[in-house]
Chains A and B, each alone.
Chain A
Amino acid sequence: MIRKLLVSPQFTNPANHYARYSWPVEFVVRALKEVGWTGFSVNDALTPLANMGQQLFEPPDVNGWELGQGWFSTGGMLARMNFAAALATNQKFNLRDIARGNGRTPEALLSYIMDLLTPPSSSGGTYSALLDYTRAGGSWTGSDAQLATKASGLVHLIVGSGDYQII
């Protein structure tokens, strides 16, 4: 059965990759695994999860949660972006530390952060928007302060992007 699944054309067809809306809990767990959770309590995720529309173990009714597009109201999308901001804030100094030696240029820092995360195929316009953000705010020095700001900012933008919500 597993072999049949793994060798099926549907399994390897790129059109079927990244074609499912992530549940809030999938989004949160994935972000914690990829960004880090030092000093982050599970309880810190419960209110954001509720804001995204999923109160763990408490579906709205016996029908369960409405899946798919139902997760993505404007308020739910902002809740995801704001969780990404809270997580990036929480991990700011860890991100600075791991970015040292990988942030000689804005391009190098962006490349490093993108390798840290696992975004799916997406538009070139996203890359240019991220690079413009990394460059914004003055000349690049690669200082600790700059790395802390831009590494956390990039994590926020990528984890909060539409691309990251599709799995």
Chain B
Amino acid sequence: MPITRREFVRGGVSAFTVSFAAPAFLSDLARAQGRSRRNLVVLYLSGGNDALSTLIPYNDPQYYARRPTLAVPAANVLQIGSDSAGNALGLNPRLTGLKSIFDSGRLALIQRTGYANSSRSHFQGTDIWSTGDPASPQGTGWLGRYLDLLPSPIDPLSGWSTTRETPRTLMARTVGVPSIPSVPAYAFASPNGGADAQYARESATRISSHVPVDRPHLAFVNATARAAFATLDRVATVGAYTPSVAYPNNGLAQALRTVAGAMAKSIGTRVFWVQTGGYDTHAGQNTNQANGSYAGLMGTLNDGLLAFYTDLQNQGLLGDTLVLQFSEFGRRINENGSQGTDHGAAGLMMAMGGTVRGGIYGTAPNLRAVGDNPTLENSGNDVRYETDFRSVYARVIDAWLGASSTAVLGGDFRAGAPQFL
């Protein structure tokens, strides 16, 4: 049964039209919702970061015994002191910038973060960290649920994903968080110039304003288009941002540069998502080679974050910014036969910002592979979690975002939360 043009014209009687919100109104809304000016930047290291190569227990002989080629020599680590249990720790040699931030008291390292019965699946692990719900990791994300709690109507630009797809963490019930990997590409092009381009934009905006109640698929797509139109002009202002430092020319650093620009231009975004990959280091991890894959990962992370931190400091924005970094799991303690490491359990979270109480939180694992070692699991092959990752989320929600962590997380995880804020 073909559908004709006339049905196209005639159909959709059960539709209504959304009045298009003028940019001025949205700017007011953004200002009202963003009154606190506090920004949260979530940095996801995709693939499962090898926490034992980032924060190194360089005095543990088992570390060297179980990683004969990958262990970083004690002489090379950037020593940062000991945790509360007296375990000496050091940062990866490429993290010189993060070491300086740690020394200034603005970097918190939270060891052995995770949850019981840690999943070794990238997909399930990512969903669990995204939803904050190990038992049922579907549906909206933890930051999406935070956005759902903001006063309605919610500014579509309250969140910003710098990836092409909106991550589950930012999936909300009431607002579609925009994905903006490139500011210049986030524009409305037209085959014609001058006045006709403006007519085209007005018409496209009108078309997207229709909400057919009997066609949920179309209603969703039109809602996405409306969110795009509502955010175009404010996003465009970010393109004019001039940073105070030179950012490295890689995806992570350029994403952080864009985030700094969005903050500096005060466009109203309060939650940002930044992602960098390559951490699934099953083979050729080459921790100790200057041009090895893990050294490259650490170099990219260090140089990007240092540029971002310095830029925000110079712009007077550091005190309003919190960077929260995590990965979906840590990696096995033993290196494998391919000079890599396989999927493990507990990992390392970092928090960085102008008001962060820096330091080492939690305790390092004892890497001795015996059955009764309470810091390990899976017959001594994996690091067992000590701090529930949801308690870290709870601290961020309560102490930084000013919302209720019990409402967002669906439970009370405040007990035992590291006090880095």
Contact = CB atoms under 8 A, between A and B. Distances in A.
Contact of B11 (A79, A81, A123): A123
Contacts of B8: 114, 119-122, 126-127, 163
A157 B200 contact: yes
Contact of B204 (A81, A118, A122): A81
A63 B123 contact: yes
Contacts of B207: 125-126, 129-130, 157, 161-163
Contacts of A149: 192, 196
Interface of A (DSSP majority class): helix
Interface in B1-58: 1, 3, 5, 7-13, 15, 17
B186 to A, nearest CB: 6
B178 interface: yes
A94 interface: no
A153 B218 contact: no
Interface string B201-217: 01110111110100101
A14 B12 CA distance: 13
A21 B217 CA distance: 7
A129 B336 CA distance: 62
B9 A127 contact: yes
A76 interface: yes
Contacts of A19: 215, 217
A78 B228 contact: yes
A73 B208 CA distance: 14
Interface in B210-232: 210, 212, 215, 217-218, 220-222, 224-225, 227-228, 231-232
A69 interface: yes
B11 A160 contact: no
Contacts, number: 184
A75 B178 contact: yes
Interface string B142-165: 000000000000001000010011
Given A160-B204, A165-B221, A121 B185 contact: no
Interface in A63-105: 63, 66, 69-70, 72-79, 81-82, 85-86, 88-89, 92
Contact of B12 (A85, A118, A123): A123
B179 A74 contact: yes
A17 B215 CA distance: 10
B191 A12 contact: no
Contact of B122 (A61, A114, A123, A125): A61
Tell which of B3, B178, B218 has the most Cβ of chain A within 10 Å: B218
B206 A70 contact: no
Contacts of B217: 18-21, 166
B9 A124 contact: yes
Interface in A1-32: 12, 14, 17-21
Contacts of B5: 111, 114-115, 119
Interface in B167-216: 176, 178-181, 185-192, 195-196, 199-200, 202-204, 206-210, 212, 215
B166 interface: yes
A76 B188 contact: no
A47 to B, nearest CB: 10
A161 B207 CA distance: 7
Interface in A25-67: 50-51, 53, 60-61, 63, 66
B164 A53 contact: yes
Contacts of A126: 8, 12, 207, 210
A124 B13 contact: yes
Contacts of B210: 122-123, 125-126
Contact of A124 (B1, B12, B186): B12
A19 B216 CA distance: 8
A156 B190 contact: yes
Nearest to B17: A125
B189 A74 contact: no
Given A73-B179, A129-B203, A160-B204, A121 B221 contact: no
Given A53-B164, A73-B166, A152-B191, A121 B7 contact: yes
A85 B191 contact: yes
Interface of A: 12, 14, 17-21, 50-51, 53, 60-61, 63, 66, 69-70, 72-79, 81-82, 85-86, 88-89, 92, 111, 114-115, 118-127, 129-130, 132-133, 136-137, 149, 152-153, 155-157, 160-163, 165-166
17 contacts: A17-B1, A18-B215, A18-B217, A19-B215, A61-B122, A77-B224, A78-B186, A81-B189, A125-B206, A136-B196, A136-B199, A137-B199, A149-B196, A153-B192, A160-B204, A163-B207, A165-B221
Given A74-B176, A127-B9, 19 more contacts: A17-B1, A17-B3, A21-B221, A73-B164, A73-B179, A74-B179, A74-B228, A75-B179, A81-B188, A86-B189, A119-B8, A122-B218, A124-B10, A129-B203, A129-B206, A132-B203, A132-B206, A152-B192, A162-B208
Interchain residue pairs A-B with the least CB separation, the first 9: A123-B12, A121-B11, A73-B179, A74-B178, A133-B203, A162-B221, A74-B228, A129-B206, A85-B189
